[in-house]
Amino acid sequence: MANSCHICGLGSYVPDKILTNHDLEKLVDTSDEWILSRTGIRQRHILESGANASDAAMEAAHAALADAGVSPEELTHIFVATCSPDYFCPSTACLVAGRLGLSAKGDGQGAHVMCMDFNAACSGFLYGLELARSVLALRPDGVVLLIGAEALSRRIDFSDRSTCILFGDGAGAVVLRGSSAGSLWGVQDCSCCSDGSLHNLIVMGGGSAMEVKKGDMLPDDFFLTMQGREVFRHAVRSMAAESRAMLERHGMTVDDIDLFIAHQANLRIIEAVGSRLGIDESKVFVNVQDYANTSAATLPLALDDARTQGRLKPGMKVLLSTFGGGITWGAALLA
């Protein structure tokens, strides 16, 4: 079947404020050497007070639309992958649409764009690619804006050194079309997986399971918690297996891949997955040292960063791999 989903624009955004490992030494019992040796992270970007996930999403959206040469009025769908939205309701996607000027004209007409948030945690971008593939298969004339945006610093306990060192804020976006005209890469294939029996490995509360009433103190389970060793084990195994399956499905090996971009959560995970796949280190893109784990934003941010650095060019064969809360994981092939 002919490929019906093409990336025709990329954009990303990270806040100006930087929190280094040395800054964290003043907050918790940790050190730059301890963080760097265990995660590969040197710094992370943090939203200023008053700026939210939707603000990061807007910056990435503007950049992606400009890169694609697409006006907001051409969009048919806006999807935002996030586990740290501004609100449970309204959706961040609706906020983005409103700020892009996609409003009705008083008679209920003129704003025919579908807006939706979804939460697959760190796997959100690949889940979004699969959503976009489905939409564009049914509606070849569609134009999809897919954004991964996170404000995870708002849900991190900065007295917990096991989690506060790992995460940052940011956003990445792509514009997707059914037509190959102006295509940077076609989305050749995408696979998304989950295992809900392991839901307790990564948890961030705040939903209806948190029984609070007005005046209550904020409970500890409002903040993100993670079983680090178990996450590491499952992440390496799942990402490597699904990446290998993706290549085998297309009769390819790692030698056919120009660039491998894994979810930027932890350098040790990326190295372990690369080692299991047997892929040359020169083909593995890493920027976790500069941004830390930005959850659903890591893959689109890495794509844009790799292109800016000259590591990624249109038409290259790119293998993407991810893992996140839920638990969720997946792989995608771009070419």
Of 208, 239, 217, give the one whose Cα is nearest residue 332: 239
**Choosing from 6, 45, 77, 263, which is the catalytic residue?**
263
End-to-end Cα separation, the chain, in angstroms: 15
Q: Are 121 and 324 in contact (CB under 8 A)?
A: yes
Q: What is the dihedral of CA 97, 102, 107, 109, to 10 degrees?
A: -100
89 is known as an active-site residue = no
Of the residues 122, 164, 190, 192, only one is catalytic, namely: 122
DSSP one-letter code for 293: B
Q: Is 192 a residue of the active site?
A: no
Q: CA nearest 99: which of 68, 145, 136, 67?
A: 145
Residue among 30, 6, 38, 294 nearest 149 (CA)? 294
Using CA atoms, how far apart are residues 12 and 148, in angstroms rounded to an integer? 9
Residue 144 vs residues 5, 130, 139: alpha-carbon distances, Å: 10, 12, 10
Token code pair at residue 301: 């941010």
Tokens of 194: 């989950």
Concerning whether 122 is annotated as a catalytic residue, the answer is yes
Burial 247-259 (b: 16+ CB within 10 A, else e): beeeebebeebeb
316 to 61, 190, 225, 287: CA distances (angstroms): 23, 16, 37, 19
Structure tokens at 268: 């040790």
Among 21, 52, 119, 293, the one annotated catalytic: 293
CA distance 216 to 297: 32
Question: Catalytic site residues?
Answer: 122, 263, 293
